[in-house]
Structure formats: C-alpha cells, structure tokens
Amino acid sequence: MATKLRKALRKEKLVIEYTAEVIKEALHDFSVKKPAPLLAWDQGLFLACRQHINDLGPRGKLDHKGSDGKTVFERINRHGKYRGMCGESFVIGKERPKEVVLALIIDLNNSSKQNRRAMMEQKFIKGAVCTGYNIKYGVWTVFAYTSQ
C-alpha cells in the first residue's frame, strides 16, 4: 500500500500543500498496519451523508452533529438499523476524487489523525460517501462507516 501511495503522489503531483514530514508519517502508518477490508456500499449510510450535507451545507457549518443536535450514530439510524462502531469523516475544498482520498490519508489539520484511522479501521465493513456544497467552505465530502 505504501508503495502504491508513493507512486500515486508522484503521478498526480498532489503533494504541493503537504510537507515531506506529513507524507512520511502517512506512509509509515500505511506500511506498518494491516490493510483495512474493502467496504461494502450502504445506501442508508449514503442517505445519512447526503442528509448531513443538505442540512449543514446551506448554513455554512461543519460539525459532526446536525442542526437538530443529532450525532452521526443517530443520523445513520434514521436510514437503517446499525449497531456497533460508526464513524464519519469530512474533506473540504477538494473536488477531484484522488485529492479527497489523499486529504483523508494525510489528515493534515487533525492532530489525532481520526480520518486516517477511520480509513484503516479493521472493524468497519460498510461505508458510503456523498459530496455536496457548503456555502462557507465550498466543496464538502462526507464519509460514513459502520462495523455492522
């Protein structure tokens, strides 16, 4: 995985905003951890992502809670029956899919690297993604993941 990531970074020339240090850190994480399983697409998770974008995007907000105060777990359970772990990741300002994925991998402005950890989580088996617009931040992509 780390070798493929290096090649993709060189080929796409997407590294301008990232320092060598943060790229090395991401490559290290991917080289020492077991690859996560492929996620199965889940329509309920997609609907939850879309609902979140349609709720907060016009308000210019970025938050893991909706305008009604509901958490990601409560939001996804409006669209299905989910138990176990769940997660949500955001990427703002990136339009090209490869840029979105790279932003999740690098997870630049997140000291805990929660987005990267979510991508690498072994227990997540279902996922979905939706991209929309936020009036304050521009293009906004929301990912949701669950373990069941």
Residue 40: band (very low, low, confident or very high) from pLDDT cuts 50, 70, 90: very high
Model pLDDT for residues 76-86, shown as the tens digit of each residue: 999 988 989 99
Q: Identify which has the larger pLDDT, 48 or 15.
A: 48
pLDDT in tens, 58-111: 999 999 999 999 999 999 999 988 989 999 999 999 999 988 888 888 877 767
Q: What is the pLDDT of residue 142?
A: 96
Residue 5 is predicted with a pLDDT of 58
Q: Is the pLDDT of residue 143 over 60?
A: yes
Q: Which residues contact 42 (CB under 8 A, 6 or more apart)?
A: 80, 126, 127, 128, 146
Of 16 and 91, the one with more pLDDT = 91
User: Which residue has tokens 């309920």?
Assistant: 44
Is residue 6 over pLDDT 70?
Answer: no
Closest of 82, 85, 71 to residue 124, by C-alpha: 85
15 has a pLDDT exceeding 50: no
